Chain A
């Protein structure tokens, strides 16, 4: 079955840039999506189609993808950005739909 790999944790100080990676063999052909989940809450879409930002998501959130790796970048991370971040994509056939294991972002 298809897998997306994320680092378990990322830690930055407020105002620094946080980068969360997601690797998967099909990412050269398939879009990556990113979801933020704060403690006790439902996930929220923060990046779609590799690099597009939904309305209402702060400009400090950006996404990119190159080869087999997608990256979520939070420029000038703030304390309120703490939470778990999940990437999502599919295998090359589009049938195996998977989330990465999640990355816990700490901003302190």
Chain B
């Protein structure tokens, strides 16, 4: 059974940093690209960024709203995905989901999400 479990969320002040983790199980993690998607309270889904698999050199891609502030990384030996968030703004407040992708199909499995609140 595919499982994705996010952790590391919480309350942080504007300008602060936070690192989210996503633990994967039930599939060959290294074969898949992975994404982060967020959802502000009461709002729609917003793609945050992607990290490709080893065959694609772990290249990354980011939404314009987070580029230069957020960094996605992965440790295939630990079946783990990370999202380092720096220079956080109040508008980054959201539930953050990690999601798996395969071939042409993005977000075929999702984690349960983790809440990040940026507030003073």
A contact set with B: CB distance below 8 Å: 1, 31, 33, 35, 37, 42-45, 48-49, 54, 84, 86, 88, 95, 97-102
Contact = CB atoms under 8 A, between A and B. Distances in A.
Nearest to B63: A97
B108 A48 contact: yes
A1 to B, nearest CB: 7
A99 B105 contact: no
Given A42-B113, A97-B50, A54 B108 contact: yes
Determine the main DSSP class of B at the interface with A.
strand
Contacts of B106: 33, 88, 97
Contact of B47 (A37, A42, A99, A102): A99
A43 B45 contact: yes
A37 B105 CA distance: 17
B25 interface: no
Nearest to A41: B112
Interface of B: 37, 44-47, 50, 61, 63-64, 97, 104-108, 110-113
Contacts, number: 51
Contact of B61 (A95, A99, A102): A95
Nearest to A45: B108
20 contacts: A31-B104, A35-B45, A42-B112, A43-B45, A45-B107, A45-B108, A48-B108, A49-B105, A84-B44, A86-B44, A86-B45, A97-B47, A97-B50, A97-B61, A97-B63, A97-B106, A99-B44, A99-B45, A99-B46, A99-B47
Contacts of A100: 44
A43 B38 CA distance: 11
